[in-house]
Chain A
């Protein structure tokens, strides 16, 4: 049975999403605020009592949490009640750590060749915790990553490309993904490049591309459904940003 994102306008054009699929939100320009679509999906999934693993790559965690607060996501409650777990990749690499419960750090040294292994270890440890708490029962599992494009500046475009090429197979073979449920993933990616982005376009099951334009002295924002499993025509929705959230027109 297909899952819903919880945003009516999107669910209507998508017709639901297949469980365990990968949804890529390609924020073509930062002004389109595509990341906020990922935050909105995350907020709705958590508020409806589902499980979310958030991969914090973009910013120091204190900044990410302040943004989540602005979009109305009660991260304190969700972390405390165990629905939300965070892997703080940014904090692991740049030593900006917190002692919040259910926030995980990757063991140093972190390089692109061992990154996936370290993710698998942490994901495995937390999935075990969720299993012991009986949290999987009746709940959807989502992974939200903001933002894949940050790997390019942390490592290099070529290294990121290599990571993406091999991580799929490593995860598929890992016991963590056999023993415990696997999630449906939302990844964001900002900007354009010819090394990593084409790979992500091929890998993703769904591609939602956000872009903005200045028209008649006002900002206009558009979301294009570029890819879904049926590969139908590209659908476009217009949206606005109000009260810290994406709202479709």
Chain B
């Protein structure tokens, strides 16, 4: 099994088992998060709910969805929902169905409170049995929040509160926000690092049982 195939297998299993997979690209040229996004194709087609929290401009997320081969427009507002954190913090509302922005004054603390209210409302409206949560390039938190490490921990702690079965993918570029690496390694059940070595793109499992194989 090559490393990308292993990544896809582990992500698919983690969706079933309610686990968290961290994708930690060592720098912005690795792009391991694109195959990770591809793993959403099957659950979306099966009608599972996917909640993407995007820390980059919305068009960047949509481009990466297309690169990953996802027909996102078909699912947006049905079983795919996006919280545009970048748009929220910069006060840019795309107005696209299925994409949320948090409005009004926002700082780290207020963001958490408004986020909690939004997911409570959404969960009570949709009543999903399970949700796949995707943190799209959480490294963007370093540009958007005063204390990104604390905000990241508080956001993920809401997972327990939600009261539904969740699995998750955290995508992240280390060189853009080293402060988040500690939590990703602590919290994720599996971590894959993407590196380029001798001109080859490699994905290495760096946390999880099979790292020892």
Classify the secondary structure of A's interface with B: mixed
Query: When the two chains form their complex, are residues B209 and A31 in contact, meaning their CB atoms are under 8 A apart?
Result: no
**Considering the complex, which residues of chain A in the window 23-53 have a beta carbon less than 8 Å from any beta carbon of chain B?**
30-31, 33, 35
| A-facing residues in B160-198 (Cβ within 8 Å) | 160-161, 179, 181-187, 189, 191, 193, 195
Does residue A217 face the partner (Cβ distance < 8 Å to B)? yes
- Residues of A contacting B147 with CB < 8 Å? 153
Q: Complex formed: what's the CA distance from A123 to B147 in Å?
A: 29
* Contact A94:B154 (CB < 8 A) given known A66-B160, A218-B211: yes
Docked Cα-Cα span, A243 to B212, in Å, equals 11
Pair B157/A67 contact, Cβ less than 8 Å: no
Please tell me the number of chain B residues within 8 Å of chain A, measured between CB atoms: 30
In the complex, the answer to whether B186 meets A96 with C-beta atoms within 8 Å is no
Pick the residue among B3, B187, B202, B205 that contacts A63 (CB under 8 A): B187
Whether B209 and A62, one on each chain, are in contact in the complex, defined by CB atoms closer than 8 angstroms, is no
Q: Is A180 an interface residue (CB 8 A)?
A: no
> Which positions 109-165 of chain B face chain A at CB distance < 8 Å?
147, 149-150, 153-154, 156-157, 160-161
Contacting residues, chain A, for B34 (C-beta < 8 A): none
Contact A63 B193 (CB under 8 A): no
> A31 is contacted by which of B160, B183, B207, B212 (Cβ under 8 Å)?
B207
Of all chain B residues, the one with the shortest Cβ separation from A154 is B150
- Given A153-B147, A219-B206, A240-B212: A30 and B187 within 8 A (CB)? no
What CA separation (Å) do A214 and B191 show in the bound complex? Answer: 13
Q: Roughly how many angstroms separate A60 CA and B116 CA in the complex, as a whole number?
A: 15
Q: A27–B179 Cα gap in the complex (Å)?
A: 14
CA distance A66 to B182 in the complex (A): 16
| A31 CB to nearest chain B CB (Å) | 6
Pair B153/A63 contact, Cβ less than 8 Å: yes
Contact (Cβ within 8 A) B182 A190? yes
**A67 and B187: CB pair below 8 A?**
yes
Q: B204 within 8 Å of A by Cβ?
A: yes
Q: For B183, B184, B185, which residue has the most chain A Cβ atoms within 10 angstroms?
A: B185
Which range holds the interface residue count of chain A? 20 to 34
B186 with A59: CB separation less than 8 A: yes
Residues of A within 8 A of B205 (CB): 219
**Known A31-B207, A67-B187, A70-B189: A94·B202 in contact at CB below 8 Å:** no
The reply to whether A217 and B183 contact each other, CB–CB distance below 8 Å, is no
The answer to whether A30 touches B149 (Cβ under 8 A) is no
The total number of A-B Cβ pairs within 8 Å is 69
Chain B residues with Cβ below 8 Å from A153 are 147, 149-150, 179
Q: Which residue among A30, A62, A94, A241 has the maximum number of chain B CB atoms within 10 Å of its CB?
A: A30
Cα distance A35–B212 in the bound complex, in angstroms? 19
Q: A96-B154, A214-B195 are in contact. Are A59 and B183 (CB under 8 A)?
A: yes
B153–A218 touching, CB < 8 Å: no
Determine if A242 is an interface residue (Cβ-Cβ < 8 Å): yes
A58 within 8 Å of B by Cβ?
A: yes
Specify which chain A residues have a CB less than 8 angstroms from the CB of B182 in the assembled complex: 30, 190-191
User: Which residues of chain A (52-81) have a CB below 8 Å from chain B?
Assistant: 58-60, 62-63, 66-67, 70
Docked pose: A219 CA to B193 CA in angstroms:
10
Point out the residues of chain B lying under 8 angstroms from A31, CB to CB: 181, 185, 191, 193, 206-207
A-B contact pairs, 26 of them (CB 8 A): A30-B181, A31-B181, A31-B185, A31-B191, A31-B193, A59-B187, A60-B153, A60-B157, A67-B186, A70-B189, A94-B154, A153-B149, A153-B150, A190-B182, A212-B206, A214-B204, A214-B206, A217-B204, A218-B211, A219-B206, A240-B212, A241-B207, A241-B211, A241-B212, A242-B212, A243-B209
Known A217-B3, A219-B204; 12 more pairs at CB < 8 Å = A30-B185, A63-B153, A63-B156, A67-B186, A96-B157, A153-B149, A190-B182, A212-B206, A219-B211, A240-B211, A240-B212, A241-B212
Interface residues of B (CB under 8 A from A): 3, 147, 149-150, 153-154, 156-157, 160-161, 179, 181-187, 189, 191, 193, 195, 202, 204-207, 209, 211-212
Residues of chain A at the chain B interface (Cβ within 8 Å): 30-31, 33, 35, 58-60, 62-63, 66-67, 70, 94, 96, 153, 190-191, 212, 214, 217-219, 240-243
Return the 3 tightest CB-CB contacts between A and B, nearest first.
A60-B157, A30-B185, A30-B182
